[in-house]
């Protein structure tokens, strides 16, 4: 109520001042014509001084005196006819003052309705932090978030033989819960089929089975599946997994991305901005989270109170030879086996060219990532080890290749 009283007082006070000026017809102690008379009298004195110094001729002085005298007579007539109001019509003055008075008050209210938040009290920092902690304490569970998601559908083009093998794999893992390799295969293939909740449960089994030997990559993969299965939301359990990941590897990029998402979810844009800004500056251009962060971080910076934020230059991703537009169009018409064969062929060409001609850090990073995507972990690790030897004296190049391996989910 105090706020509205203060706003009303300021609006009405400003309107009253403007209305008074309009009604008086002048801004000072005298009408406008009185000021004009004073200026013209000063001009006559200036003409006499210029004539005395020889700056103008007698004829020019006479013409100037005649013009100034004419203006003096006109201003004197206006002063006598207008009086203190300066000749302004009273009716027009009253109507204009009323319009200004009402328009200023009503306009202020309408503007605040559009731009302000009526009825919303100021929230001190301590209260905002407390509200954030309350949101964190009341995060929905993983099971609740997954229950809201629609049932997964089998992707088009999946062959029946593959589905039968998946049924056998599920049955085998259910019968041998301690089979680590089986759980890893199940998590990977369930994710490929879009069964993210099932993939999450299988990866949880991998982490539980490994126990203290579970790596940051194991936890990061679990967090990735949990957030995906929850439709992009970070559950209470997923937050704990993210923390566990970063305890094992503070630089794990997927965990840092999801942590920023979580901090936005619990209304801590300040911490989310710092997390994402650092990750963005350390990531390669082809990292999957880079375009997402670049599209949202400017708004996030504004919410965090950063007055001037400039996006870091987009990394110039070095492009290794890849498929042409015709190759991509042809790949869309291929079978799964033929498409995989074409991809393997291009990866083999890249590997051969790097081995014979040498490659840039970006090309080595792409090779490591390509092998990991194809599921050829041994070749990916071998390429990573070779790149580390080549770029042992180049910290920036070494960091690029290492980050690519982490982004591909390649465990050390």
Q: Does residue 86 carry a pLDDT above 60?
A: no
Whether 204 contacts 196, CB under 8 Å: no
End-to-end C-alpha distance for the chain, whole angstroms? 62
Q: Looking at the domain assignment, is residue 347 inside a domain? A: yes
Is 223 domain-assigned?
yes
318 part of a folded domain: no
Closest of 412, 361, 408 to residue 387, by C-alpha? 361
Q: What's residue 186's pLDDT?
A: 92
List pLDDT tens digits, range 267-289: 899 899 999 999 998 888 778 88
Domain boundary among 99, 115, 131: 115
| Average pLDDT for 326-347 | 59
What was the pLDDT predicted at 43? 85
Q: What is the mean pLDDT of residues 156-165?
A: 85
pTM: predicted TM-score of the whole model, two decimal places = 0.53
**How far is Cα 388 from Cα 361, in angstroms, rounded to an integer?**
10
Is residue 111 packed enough to be buried (19+ CB in 10 Å), middle (13-18) or exposed (0-12)?
exposed
Domain membership flag for residue 157: yes
Residue 295 lies in a domain: no
State the maximum Cα–Cα separation within the chain, in Å, rounded to a whole number: 122
Residue 19 reports pLDDT greater than 80 = no
The domain total for the chain is 3
- CA 161/CA 337 separation, integer angstroms: 13
pLDDT of residue 57: 87
pLDDT tier, 89 (very low <50, low <70, confident <90, very high otherwise):
low
- Give the residue-averaged pLDDT of 52-72: 85
Distances (CA, A) of 228 to 128, 315, 337: 28, 27, 27
pLDDT value of position 337? 57
Residue range(s) defining the domain that contains residue 171: 145-267
Of 301-305, 314-318, 398-402, 403-407, the one with minimum mean pLDDT is: 314-318
- Is the same domain home to 342 and 242? no
The 10 Å Cβ neighbour count of residue 50 is 14
């Amino acid at each position: 109520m105090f706020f509205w009283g203060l706003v009303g007082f300021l609006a009405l006070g400003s309107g009253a001042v403007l209305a008074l000026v309009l009604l008086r017809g002048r801004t000072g102690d005298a009408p406008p014509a009185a000021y004009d008379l004073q200026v013209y009298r000063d001009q006559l004195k200036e003409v006499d001084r210029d004539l005395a110094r020889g700056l103008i001729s007698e004829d020019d002085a006479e013409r100037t005196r005649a013009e100034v005298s004419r203006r003096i007579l006109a201003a004197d007539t206006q002063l006598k006819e207008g009086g203190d109001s300066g000749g302004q019509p009273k009716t027009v003055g009253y109507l204009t003052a009323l319009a200004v008075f009402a328009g200023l008050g009503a306009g202020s209210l309408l503007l605040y309705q559009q731009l302000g938040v009526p009825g919303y009290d100021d929230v001190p920092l301590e209260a905002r932090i407390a509200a954030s902690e309350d949101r964190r304490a009341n995060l929905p569970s993983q099971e609740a978030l997954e229950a809201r998601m629609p049932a997964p559908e089998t992707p088009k083009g999946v062959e029946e033989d593959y589905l039968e093998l998946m049924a056998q794999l599920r049955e085998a893992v259910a019968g041998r819960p301690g089979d680590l390799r089986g759980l890893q295969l199940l998590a990977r293939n369930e994710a490929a089929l879009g069964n993210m909740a099932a993939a999450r449960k299988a990866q949880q089994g991998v982490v539980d089975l490994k126990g203290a030997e579970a790596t940051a990559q194991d936890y990061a993969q679990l967090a990735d599946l949990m957030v995906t299965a929850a439709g992009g939301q970070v559950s209470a359990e997923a937050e704990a997994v993210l923390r566990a990941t970063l305890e094992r590897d503070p630089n794990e990029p997927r965990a840092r991305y999801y942590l920023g998402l979580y901090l936005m979810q619990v209304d801590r844009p300040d911490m989310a901005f710092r997390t994402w800004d650092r990750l963005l500056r350390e990531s390669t251009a082809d990292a999957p989270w880079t375009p997402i962060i670049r599209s949202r971080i400017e708004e996030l910076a504004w919410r965090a109170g950063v007055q001037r934020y400039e996006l870091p230059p987009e990394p110039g991703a070095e492009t290794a030879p890849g498929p042409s537009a015709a190759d991509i169009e042809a790949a869309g018409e291929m079978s799964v086996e033929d498409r995989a064969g074409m991809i393997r062929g291009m990866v083999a060409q890249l590997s051969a060219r790097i081995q014979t001609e040498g490659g840039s850090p970006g090309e080595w990073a792409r090779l490591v990532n390509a092998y990991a995507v194809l599921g050829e972990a041994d070749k990916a690790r071998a390429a990573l080890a070779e790149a580390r030897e080549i770029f042992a004296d180049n910290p920036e190049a070494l960091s690029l290749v290492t980050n690519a391996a982490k982004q591909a989910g390649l465990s050390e």
